[in-house]
Amino acid sequence: MSNLLITGGAGFIGVNLVKWWLENHTADNIVVLDALTYAGNATSLEDVLGHANLNFIHGDIKDTPLVESLLRDHDIDLIIHLAAESHVDRSIEGPDEFIDTNVIGTHSLLKAARTVWCESGTWRKHRFHHVSTDEVYGSLGEDDPPFCEMTPYAPNSPYSASKAASDHLVRAYHHTFGMEVTTTNCSNNYGPYQFPEKLIPLILTNILRGKELPIYGDGMNVRDWLHVSDHCRGIAMAVAHGRVGETYCIGGRNEAPNLDIVNELCHQVEERFEKNPRLKDSFPHCPAGRGEKNTSLITYVTDRPGHDRRYAIDPTKASKEIGYEPLMTFVSGISETVDWYLGNQSWVERVMDGSYRTWIENNYQDRS
Ligand code: NAD
Ligand code: TYD
């Protein structure tokens, strides 16, 4: 049995992880610490907020007194650290917050954990699991072998550079101070509750609203898509079976160019409209409702500066050492995701407009 602190537990992966953990580790107690930035959405946890094993705390990982008291009061022995600024485009528009949250924030969390877990020189049982990205490894050429744990770091965006810095800090706290850490570097996730700024939820949202589908550059940049449920399993396996001080690459064995993803989403939405003619009343601006092709919305736009061409992961080490394999096929994962976004447009609207902020103000005290 563990007492976990999950940072960033109201974000996309965090929400999925919290729900997965409550279902699969029923004896564990979870504290979620989340600052509820634009990307954090406590309403995504609405169905589990009353769960006896879950405590939700609205707060910042940089608030050292708060973090230390959470670690002590809840006797936390496992931190799964997801809190971050996570969108590459935002990191290009304004890198400062990425340094503040991903670098300073991670360091602040490590310091608090060290203080509490090593109080009076006596080590408490503990694990710090850091959730990171494959983007720290830079960009692959078409014929390069996929990233693995030995690939040298070569981050290209302010986002990936800030995550790389955080990975190094976690590593250093292990080597210098003996903190028991593990890290997972994961490929692009997709699935329910993803904020509609990332490729898959943005494209689905825009198809349904009849808005342009922006394709950066030639649309041939490649990502290794992984269903978020497989990522959650991978994190749990690294915590349970990973060797302390080690990193594990978690991927989907599922490379695809962006244009293929966008075409597939257009096609899947058309299929849903054919099967259910009532959808056109709910989404009057969607081309499929008028019998037109959703791909008519595709618009090529100026490429992202420094746009990494290809990411791909070789998960052999994770497979051998912690027993990780992705279970969800892309066909079933994307189909489930399309259905989720079709059925949860009220969630999309809530996170996109101001009503979500009002919900937070009415439901949670501000700690600042
Ligand atoms: P997200 O942007 O959806 O969520 C981030 C969460 O962190 C939000 O709930 C936000 O409110 C919270 N947060 C931000 N600053 C905070 C602070 N100072 N204190 C407390 N909470 C704070 O991100 P995500 O997609 O869920 O990603 C989670 C983690 O996984 C990140 O560390 C990211 O780098 C990593 N990751 C993501 C992907 C992906 O495809 N989404 C892939 C690999 C790794
Ligand atoms: P994104 O979801 O932002 O993830 P990341 O940049 O971390 O991989 O983008 C995935 C890919 O999709 C990336 O190659 C950029 C591209 N993209 C577009 O072509 N148009 C868009 O509107 C967005 C958001 C992304």
Report the alpha-carbon distance of residue 119 to residue 135 in Å, rounded: 35
E-strand ranges in the chain read: 3-7, 29-34, 54-58, 78-81, 127-133, 181-186, 189-190, 213-216, 222-224, 226-227, 247-250, 255-257, 298-301
* Residues 300, 215: Cα–Cα separation, whole Å: 5
Report which of 174, 160, 184, 221 is spatially closest to residue 81, judged by C-alpha positions.
184
**Is the pLDDT assigned to residue 191 strictly greater than 70?**
yes
Q: What is the pLDDT of residues 274-301, one digit of tens each?
A: 999 999 999 999 999 999 999 999 999 9
The per-residue pLDDT for 198 is: 95
Tell me the sheet residues that pair with 224. Answer: 255
The catalytically annotated residue of 34, 85, 159, 311 is 159
Q: Which of 135, 255, 270, 314 is catalytic?
A: 135
In angstroms, rounded to a whole number, what is the distance separating the alpha carbons of residues 157 and 146? Answer: 19
Q: Which residue has the higher pLDDT, 68 or 355?
A: 68
The pLDDT value recorded for residue 359 is: 55
Q: Could you tell me how many residues make up the chain? A: 368
Residue nearest to atom 20 of ligand 2 (CA): 215
Is-catalytic flag, 134? yes
Evaluate: CB of 147 within 6 angstroms of ligand 1. Answer: no
Output the CA 115–ligand 2 centroid distance in Å. 39
Ligand 2 pocket member 86 (CB < 6 A): no
Print burial letters for 167-206: b (CB count within 10 Å at least 16), e (below 16).
bebbbebbeeeebbbbbbbbbbbbbbbbbbbbbbbbbbbb
The answer to whether the CB of 129 is under 6 A from ligand 1 is no
Give the pair of three-digit tokens for residue 226.
Answer: 């992984």
Average pLDDT (346-362) is 71
Interval 43-69 mean pLDDT: 96
* Pocket of ligand 2 contains residue 258 by CB under 6 Å: yes
The dihedrals phi and psi of 256, each to the nearest 5 degrees, come to: -155, 145
Q: Which-ligand-closest: CA of 191?
A: 1
Ligand 1 midpoint to CA 102 (Å): 9
Q: Is the pLDDT of residue 8 over 50?
A: yes
Most ligand 1 atoms within 8 A of CB, residue of 6, 7, 13, 66 to mutate? 13
Instruction: Note if 159 is an active site residue.
Output: yes
Query: Domains of the chain (ranges plus CATH)?
Result: 3-190+226-253+311-327+355-363 (3.40.50.720)
CA distance 61 to 164: 18
Determine whether 135 is an active site residue.
yes
358 is written with which tokens? Answer: 């009002």
Report, as an integer, the average pLDDT of 180-206: 96
Report the range of poorest mean pLDDT among 143-157, 234-248, 336-350, 354-368: 354-368
Distance 307 CA to ligand 2 centre (A): 9
- The rounded Å distance from CA 51 to ligand 2 centre is 35
Are 31 and 78 spatial neighbours (Cβ–Cβ below 8 Å)?
no
0.85 exceeded by pTM: yes
